[in-house]
Amino acid sequence: MPQARLKATHGFHATMRARPGRADALIDALLAGAPTSNENCLVYLVGRSSSEPDVIDVTEGWTSKEAHAEAFASASAQALIARLAPLVTDAAQYRDVVPVGGSVRG
């Protein structure tokens, strides 16, 4: 049976580099701050490079650009950004990606 497409119209893929020895803390902070309780966040996935363990990726999919902007402006999102800042070496690199479907199994 084919999978249904997501109703995301906005999304991105962010890549960041953790400070040496801080990748696990960065991953923990990203997962703890996940906006998954927001009904407009359809995808939030954190990954790690197997060849460069300090490189962390985040993929997000949102129902709209406006919904993401509203969530990003929230106090909890700004607090997360403040927690992430000392864990990364440089600004994250962003790519425009709108998730359309797939699966994740634990």
Q: Mean pLDDT of successive 10-residue segments in the chain (106 residues)?
A: 88 98 98 95 97 98 98 95 96 96 86
E-assigned strand segments in the chain:
10-17, 41-48, 55-62, 93-96
> Which residues, at least 6 apart from 60, have a Cβ–Cβ distance to it below 8 Å?
11, 12, 14, 35, 41, 43, 44, 45, 68, 99
- Looking at residue 59, its pLDDT comes to 98
Rounded to an integer, what distance in angstroms lies between the CA atom of residue 38 and that of residue 80? 15
Burial call 35-44: b when 16+ CB within 10 Å, e when fewer: beebebbbbb
- Fold observed for domain 10-96: Alpha-Beta Plaits (3.30.70)
Give the helix/strand (H/E) hosting 66: helix 65-72
With beta carbons less than 8 A apart as the criterion, state whether 14 and 94 touch.
yes
Question: What pTM was computed for the model?
Answer: 0.92
Where do the structural domains in the chain lie, given as residue ranges? 10-96
Q: Quote the pLDDT of residue 1.
A: 66
